[in-house]
Structure 1
Amino acid sequence: MAKGPFHFKAFSVEQDGAAMKVGMDGIVLGSTTCVDGAQLVMDVGAGNGYVGIMLLQRMAKGGHLIGVELEPEAARQCAMNYATQPFEGHSADAWPGAIQDYAESHPEHLGQVDLMVSNPPFFRDKPKSPIAARNLARHDDTLQMVDLVKAAGLLLKPGGRLCTIWPYDRLEEWQSWSEGGGFSISRTLHITTMAHLPCKRFVAEWTRRPCANAEEKTEWLTLEGKATLDFTENYLRYIQPYLRGT
């Protein structure tokens, strides 16, 4: 994706100050996450803020978005993009810091969040970039699975949902955290780039117990047909509200 502003159909975001630009993982997460009933939403590791703004576009009026971002320059850019989001009846704030510290500093939000999303840093024991901000965005030194589960357990209300996107090779590891964390797995979306390729990512939705319906949905999503940007009909129904040219 380009380093300059990224223009969605209904909004634009500046991204020169964030180490990670608008990309496939965030677009998949933002477009496939269900926002039904969500009024207080948190985006953990918000980057430039575009995933949360994608959610605001579909949320009922009156929603409030909190973007938590540790890297200072990305947090500043997130705040700027939130300030220019065009969706009336919504509000959004960027909080510069670690999700591990958020609950202690915001006790009023304990057990109050309807939806938490995260496109977390997921590289572990991999070669690192000389750019510190890029390492924060890509490597799990500062945000590991256990940190995300603990934060969600404190902040989500009963029936609240945690939605995340991960590399496919961490599927079993991530699912193993749900039971001890007080969650039920409510949806797993297996993602392939093209039909002949193995799964590359998965989107996991967990629901905070106790919850009314703990039935798990398993779905599959192929992004492209036989060529790059030849989006499948199934993927188009998610991204058409967002991406220009679709």
Structure 2
Amino acid sequence: MFRFKQFTIQQHQTAMKVCTDACVLGAYTHPGTTHVQPAPTLLDIGTGTGLLALMAAQNYPTAHRIDAVELDPDAFGQATDNVAASPFANRVRVHQTAIQDFRPGYQYDLILSNPPFFTNHLRSPDAATNRALHTETLPFTDLVAAANRLLHPEGEWWVLLPPYEAGQLETLAQQANLWPFSRLSLRHNARKAPFRHITGYRRNPTSLHTDTLTVYESDPANPGRETYTRPFRQLLSPFYLIF
């Protein structure tokens, strides 16, 4: 269980647990960094526990159409329960389907996705873990096609991936006329290379804005230990109980 300031995520039935990089994606895509309307239509592709959909509901309190799509039946049930127990239950709908088959009849102003990205890694004996981590159920070609089909002409699509996979996705996205306009590189500390990229895409090519968020820094009060950086604290303070 992971408690946030406005909702709680139960995660005992899901393969993918709450993690720092997903929380950064949910916190970062708020009205100050996105350029969508104040009450956008929102889609979370592969919602898992429902985390990103609930963070989006908190970030956009006037958004009334928030859809979360999840293929795995156990994760779907977990996300449904988490949404029902949240203060945003009347604004978030969870759908059990593959995004390839999802046909809502409208397009979205803001799409969020923390997709599976392993391709040739060793498989887990747990099938749900494989679905969550490996691209077989959602290859990047299908993800790009879904985003291209479901994104409003003026909308934004934000994706969380490791740097190498982010480059692979970018090539496919540009072939579909989806162009990166913003990238946040996430790194553990100033000595480490980025381990995740959060990239925003639009339909029209433009210059790419880049930034870096460092999670930890040396703690001056405790030599040899690390503490969260001020920018990380500021970003996650609307959500994390510890800030």
- Matched residue type, 1:85: S
Q: Is the 8 A contact 1:44 1:119 kept in 2?
A: yes
Query: Which runs of no fewer than 5 residues in structure 1 stay unpaired?
Result: none
- Matched residue type, 1:45: G
Give, in angstroms, the shift of residue 42 of structure 1: 0.7
209, 212, 215: which one aligns with 1:220 = 212
Change (3 A) 1:128 1:166: same
Task: State the aligned residue count.
Answer: 233
Give, in angstroms, the shift of residue 178 of structure 1: 2.5
Superposed CA deviations along residues 192-213 of structure 1, whole A, max 9, x for unmatched, are: 111001111100100134x8xx
Question: C-alpha distance in 1, partners of 2:88/2:81?
Answer: 15
Deviates more, 1:231-240 or 1:28-37: 28-37
Q: Is the 8 A contact 1:25 1:119 kept in 2?
A: no
Alignment correspondent of 2:151? 156
Question: C-alpha distance in 2, partners of 1:183/1:15?
Answer: 33
Q: Tell me the TM-score normalised to structure 2 length.
A: 0.90
Question: C-alpha distance in 1, partners of 2:116/2:174?
Answer: 22
Give, in angstroms, the shift of residue 169 of structure 1: 2.1
Question: C-alpha distance in 1, partners of 2:40/2:179?
Answer: 21
- Matched residue type, 1:79: T
Question: C-alpha distance in 2, partners of 1:218/1:186?
Answer: 9
Give, in angstroms, the shift of residue 171 of structure 1: 3.2
Question: C-alpha distance in 1, partners of 2:111/2:40?
Answer: 11
220, 230, 233: which one aligns with 1:233 = 230
- Matched residue type, 1:233: R
Query: Percent of aligned pairs with the same residue?
Result: 31
Alignment correspondent of 2:187? 192
Q: Is the 8 A contact 2:162 2:197 kept in 1?
A: yes
Q: Is the 8 A contact 2:117 2:165 kept in 1?
A: no
25, 30, 33: which one aligns with 2:26 = 30
Question: C-alpha distance in 2, partners of 1:229/1:208?
Answer: 40
RMSD: 1.7
135, 139, 142: which one aligns with 1:140 = 135
Secondary structure at the residue paired with 1:194? coil
Secondary structure at the residue paired with 1:230? strand
Question: C-alpha distance in 2, partners of 1:124/1:171?
Answer: 14
Give, in angstroms, the shift of residue 170 of structure 1: 2.0
Deviates more, 1:236-245 or 1:57-66: 57-66
Q: Does 1:72 align with 2:69?
A: no
Give, in angstroms, the shift of residue 231 of structure 1: 1.1
Give, in angstroms, the shift of residue 229 of structure 1: 6.3
Question: C-alpha distance in 1, partners of 2:169/2:63?
Answer: 32
Alignment correspondent of 2:58? 57
Superposed CA deviations along residues 5-50 of structure 1, whole A, max 9, x for unmatched, are: 2100111121111111111121111111134425211111100101
Q: Is the 8 A contact 1:75 1:96 kept in 2?
A: yes
Alignment correspondent of 1:206? 201
Question: C-alpha distance in 1, partners of 2:116/2:233?
Answer: 26
Superposed CA deviations along residues 96-132 of structure 1, whole A, max 9, x for unmatched, are: 01101103xx3x12xx211111111111110011000
